[in-house]
Amino acid sequence: MQKLKDMEQRTEISSMGEFGLIDHLTRHNEIRNASTLLSIGDDGAVIDTFGKQIVVSTDMLVEGVHFDLMYTPLKHLGYKSVTVNLSDIYAMNAEPTQITLSIAVSNRFSVEALDEFYEGVNLACERYGVDLVGGDTTSSQKGFVISVTAIGEVEEGKFVTRSGAKENDLICVTGDLGASYMGLLLMEREKQIYLENPKIQPNFENQTYIIERFLKPEAKRKMIAWLKENKLQPTSMIDISDGLSSEILHICKQSQVGCILYEEKLPIHEETRAAAATFGIASTTCALNGGEDYELLFTISQHDFEKVKECELLNIIGHITKPDEGKVLITNGDKRVELSAQGWNPIKNV
């Protein structure tokens, strides 16, 4: 476990002043997109749309609610703050191009700590080819608050909403589900052990996958690129932040349809299964209700089945039905279970 470490060198934020700090944090900033006409340093950034449509999405992360600095390295936090926002842009079938990043920090944090955070931010921007074009920097009493706004572009009319699913459409999901939740439970358990006895060092052998999924999630850009290459357009799409169950219910509600999911088709990583067993939770429950997977869930016409079934990035987990057929999971024992939204809800959990 790491404490919010006072590194050998500690530069007080106050020694730099607000503008000095902004200049310092953004000193490595690069421009990667031709659409970024004007970036950090003016009253606003200027973006050229080149005739494309613009998608905007914003998210806020609050210390103690969305992350715990006891076990979240600041570099990972910076990376994750960016990728979870990019995930929303991909979920609209768009390509992210710019972000703005606003932070509120207290004097608990040193300049070096913020540098680590920005290292993660810059790495995510580099990997996903997006430009950091602005933000805001302010102080907070105690905690760390992060707000990221992501901007993306999509060809005219090609954006995908939650409301277009039609009867008989296939339900597809990328990657695998429930791993991040298992990573969270593992970190929480180790934190408790550490608090009781700081001498005990955690052993994370054979659990690196679930930890990485939790601390450093990736946005599913390959899925969007594959759909484009194959000239396929989902009928509806959403990214999985609150659990599969909750997200498919959003699609059903907004599309006014029902759905059938099959338990045997749910993609679950072996490390997730092993962790679920140690925590005494059914791995299906993790897949349905675990949060922060950041996989993409989408529906697509049956006509596209031949192409979709060859795609290694996804699994077909069910299909869309008439609204009066309900929203159900067919279990391995052939039972019909009504899906309910038990997804992780920070408001409910406060």
Q: Which residues bind ligand ADP (CB under 6 A)?
A: 22, 25-26, 40-43, 101, 103, 132, 134-137
CA dihedral 216, 213, 344, 106 (to 10 degrees): -20
Partner whose binding site includes residue 135, from ligand ADP, Mg ion, none (CB under 5 to 8 Å by kind): ligand ADP
Q: Which residues contact 208 (CB under 8 A, 6 or more apart)?
A: none
At its nearest, how many Å lie between ligand ADP and the CB of residue 133?
A: 7
Partner whose binding site includes residue 175, from ligand ADP, Mg ion, none (CB under 5 to 8 Å by kind): none
Tell me the residue nearest to ligand ADP as measured from the CB: 134
At its nearest, how many Å lie between Mg ion and the CB of residue 112?
A: 23
User: How many chain residues are in contact with Mg ion, going by CB under 5 A?
Assistant: 1
Start-to-end CA distance of the chain, whole Å, equals 24
Dist. CA 98–CA 54, nearest whole Å: 11
Q: Work out whether the CA dihedral 51, 53, 55, 56 comes out positive or negative.
A: positive
Comparing CB distances to ligand ADP, the nearer of 40 and 60 is 40
Dist. CA 161–CA 302, nearest whole Å: 18
At its nearest, how many Å lie between ligand ADP and the CB of residue 131?
A: 11
Partner whose binding site includes residue 26, from ligand ADP, Mg ion, none (CB under 5 to 8 Å by kind): ligand ADP
Partner whose binding site includes residue 40, from Mg ion, ligand ADP, none (CB under 5 to 8 Å by kind): ligand ADP
Dist. CA 66–CA 171, nearest whole Å: 29
- In our burial notation (b when 16+ CB lie closer than 10 A, e otherwise), range 273-283 reads bebbeeeebeb
- In our burial notation (b when 16+ CB lie closer than 10 A, e otherwise), range 243-267 reads bbbbbbbbbbeebebbbbbbbeebb
**Contact of 193 with 345, CB cutoff 8 Å:** no
Dist. CA 129–CA 134, nearest whole Å: 16
Partner whose binding site includes residue 101, from Mg ion, ligand ADP, none (CB under 5 to 8 Å by kind): ligand ADP
Count of other CB atoms within 10 angstroms of residue 131: 23
Count of other CB atoms within 10 angstroms of residue 3: 9
**Contact of 211 with 204, CB cutoff 8 Å:** yes
At its nearest, how many Å lie between ligand ADP and the CB of residue 147?
A: 10
**Contact of 223 with 87, CB cutoff 8 Å:** no
Member of 48, 136, 270, 325 binding Mg ion (CB under 5 A): 136
Based on the shown chain and the rule CB under 5 A, indicate whether residue 270 belongs to the binding site for Mg ion. no
Comparing CB distances to ligand ADP, the nearer of 24 and 108 is 24
At its nearest, how many Å lie between Mg ion and the CB of residue 241?
A: 28
Partner whose binding site includes residue 291, from Mg ion, ligand ADP, none (CB under 5 to 8 Å by kind): none
DSSP string, 273-294: HHHHHHHT--HHHHHHH-----
Partner whose binding site includes residue 22, from ligand ADP, Mg ion, none (CB under 5 to 8 Å by kind): ligand ADP
Stretch that binds Mg ion, among 77-85, 129-137, 279-287, 333-341 (CB under 5 A): 129-137
Partner whose binding site includes residue 41, from ligand ADP, Mg ion, none (CB under 5 to 8 Å by kind): ligand ADP
Comparing CB distances to ligand ADP, the nearer of 42 and 188 is 42
At its nearest, how many Å lie between ligand ADP and the CB of residue 28?
A: 11
Comparing CB distances to ligand ADP, the nearer of 80 and 319 is 80
Give backbone dihedrals phi and psi of 315, rounded to 5 degrees, phi first.
-125, 145
At its nearest, how many Å lie between Mg ion and the CB of residue 116?
A: 23
Comparing CB distances to Mg ion, the nearer of 41 and 198 is 41
At its nearest, how many Å lie between ligand ADP and the CB of residue 95?
A: 21
Give residues in contact with Mg ion (CB under 5 A): 136
